[in-house]
Amino acid sequence: MEATAPTTATPTQRRFTVAEYHRMAEAGILHEDDRVELLNGRLYAMPPIGSSHASRVDRLNRLFVLRAEDRATVRVQNPIQISTDSEPVPDLALVDPNDEAYRERHPRPEEVLLVVEVADTTEAFDRSTKLSLYAQAGLSEYWVVSLPNERVYVHREPTGDEYGLRLTRPPGDSVTVAALPELDPIPVDEILGT
């Protein structure tokens, strides 16, 4: 009897949709306190939030709530749905004040005015994977608050998977929200707590 050659197959990666992601939570596979995000169909386990990171998010929340008043809703560590396979949970987002719509769904890209990630241990990820994801979705402005470098990296003008305009704001400088030019500039020192 002649031996047959074994067939070969290449494993494929299984990607998930936002609907499947939500069904995993409903089925108890994912729990409310699991720190996971669905990005480009992949589930990412996010690291725990340290005290330095949390205090900067609290600080940004306070600064934006005081400045934005009723011109934007400030969302803290809440999801935004940017495609059928991506539902990131940014540290902070300013969105159109459309609270009635958000009872039924998360904000969509056209409703997002600004996304902010506070980077302590995840800076490389925030400045590559998340930057590309947010640019592809057409989010108009993305900030990375770098705690190790004590800088705010501002990204505007999404083009493909990049941003055409990149600004670095060190201590002593200030930042503005392009979609809300009437808001007072925010000193970087206030964001960083320096």
Encode pLDDT of 155-181 as tens digits: 999 999 999 999 999 999 999 999 999
Residue 105 contacts by C-beta under 8 Å, 6 or more apart in sequence?
Answer: 81
Could you say which residues of the chain have pLDDT below 70?
1-6
CA angle 72, 76, 77 (to 5 degrees): 135
pLDDT of residue 101: 87
Neighbour count for residue 110 (Cβ, 10 Å)? 11
pLDDT of residue 185: 94
pLDDT of residue 2: 66
Q: Are 84 and 40 in contact (CB under 8 A)?
A: no
- The model's pTM: 0.90
Catalogue all structural domains in the chain, each as residue range(s) with its CATH number: 49-192 (3.90.1570.10)
Q: Are 93 and 110 in contact (CB under 8 A)?
A: no
**CA–CA dist 123, 166 (Å, integer):** 16
